Amino acid sequence: MSLLKDTCPVCKKPLYSKGQGFFNLKTIKQCPDRHYEKEFHPALETYIETYKVS
């Protein structure tokens, strides 16, 4: 288990970074199966976590 690698809390797969532009400061990481998404907002200095509900 790595402390620096983000994993999905549902399926435990590593998260990958979605495409982001040079001027976009938001960092978005997503589960490969789209169970979970994690966004870092620098203005808020916090993460916003989203779970898929279906």
34: left (phi over 0), alpha (psi -120 to 50) or beta: left
Distance of alpha carbon 2 from alpha carbon 54, whole angstroms: 30
pTM above 0.75, yes or no: no
Residue 8, classified by CB atoms within 10 Å of its CB into exposed (0-12), middle (13-18) or buried (19+), is buried
Q: Which amino acid type is present at position 18?
A: K
The pLDDT confidence band at residue 2, using thresholds 50, 70 and 90, is: low
pLDDT per position as a tens digit, 21-52: 566 677 889 999 989 999 988 888 899 999 98
CA 8 to chain centre: 9
